[in-house]
Amino acid sequence: MMDLSDGLARDLPRLAEASRCSFLIDPASIPLHEGCDATHAAGDGEDYELLAAISADKIPDLRSQWTAEFPDTPLTPIGRLTPSGTPATPLNGGWDHFSHA
């Protein structure tokens, strides 16, 4: 699990790389604020969101416990980790700390 302070487009590849995986996401499943599209949402940072990778067999228990503990906070599946070398869903944007822009 990690925070998305640099945006999904930067942080999901970092999580996948650290896990020696690739990833596939469904851009239509990314939670959006009014007036925001999936591309913009993937590049946003600093809006407090967490990204977690959970084993598929643990999801039913997690959903049940999450709803009990955090009834007003949605838990949104957006994709899955895939074997290393599998083409990843293209993502653009996010915060680059070393950019001169």
Between these two residues, 100 and 84, which has the higher pLDDT value? 84
Domain boundary assignment for the chain: 2-83
Average pLDDT, stretch 52-65? 93
pLDDT digits (tens, 9 = 90+) for 21-58: 999 999 889 888 888 888 888 887 666 788 999 998 99
CATH of span 2-83: 3.90.650.10
Convert the chain into a string of H (helix), E (strand) and C (coil): CEECCCCHHHHHHHHHHHCCEEEEECHHHCCCCCCCCHHHHHHCCCCCCEECCCCHHHHHHHHHHHHHHCCCCCCCCCEEEEECCCCCCCCCCCCCCCCCC
